[in-house]
Structure 1
Amino acid sequence: MDSLRRKQIRLITAESCTGGLVAAALTHHAGSSDVTEGGFVTYSNAMKSRVLGVSAETLASFGAVSQETVREMAEGALRQAPEASVAISVSGIAGPGGGSDRKPVGTVWFATAVKGKETYAEMRLFPGDRTAVRTSAAEHALLLVQKRLET
């Protein structure tokens, strides 16, 4: 939080499987309004498209849990929040169902978008039940923001 404040950075979140846990973690701290612009919880594909501008083609070709989708989610969040300069997006399979051989339960994609820079995406596979996956994903999202701001 302090590094965001020092750099006068405002953050926006775009979440699916974490359901707002990243935004909740940010706003837990007093003074978070200095750095937190807000957050989008876009659980359905329709909301990802309607609110964040994720293309129907991307969702049909790659699915909601993909590098392509989280990139578009993060970039869309920045477009929707012009005061923000950094966005973090999260989409994954928290379980217990919904997994496949290609995308098992615990698969989570993340993207960070920074105005004027290339969007970065990465995937992690988290162990545990639904609560553990969601919690780990939210924690990792915050670490990614921190790492992204160090570069």
Structure 2
Amino acid sequence: MQNSTVKDGELLQLKEALQSPITPLNDDNGSAALLEAKQLLITSGRCCIVVATSTGSNTLQNITNLYQGMASLKRLKKHFLKERPDTRATLIGIYPSLEYPACVFELNTNADRYVAGNVLPHTGSLLETAVKSMISRLLGVSPAVGGIGLAVYRE
């Protein structure tokens, strides 16, 4: 999925911000993250599966990571909701990176719109802004985020 893998020990600040155990999504199908998330749900009642989207300066690779990560997280969300009706799953955005999260927000909510308008950077040419806007509409998340996640908890 991406060139660099995220290790759980590197995500202490994100773990503290979410107040939830974290498991990184390091493979395309998410099977390892799914198994670990199921275990975490049993032991703690909640968890978060995260994937880094901005892993370097290659813009095309970052957009590919964003697309693949979002597709995998949506697939995992459907799996959790189908397998266990007593769980709730929410997609989240993380800015600027998984290692140093300054802002964690729920996607497709008022918080997402606020962060997109007031927190995420708006630099670049008119063409760059139009492309970012198009990608945001297609994928449901701004390409400026450094990571995305799936917060899952039992009710």
User: What interval of TM-score do these two structures reach, taking the shorter chain for normalisation?
Assistant: 0.3 to 0.5
TM-score of the aligned structures, taking structure 1 as reference length: 0.36
Which has the higher relative contact order, 1 or 2, with Cα contacts under 8 A spaced 6 or more apart?
2
Structure with higher Rg: it is: 2
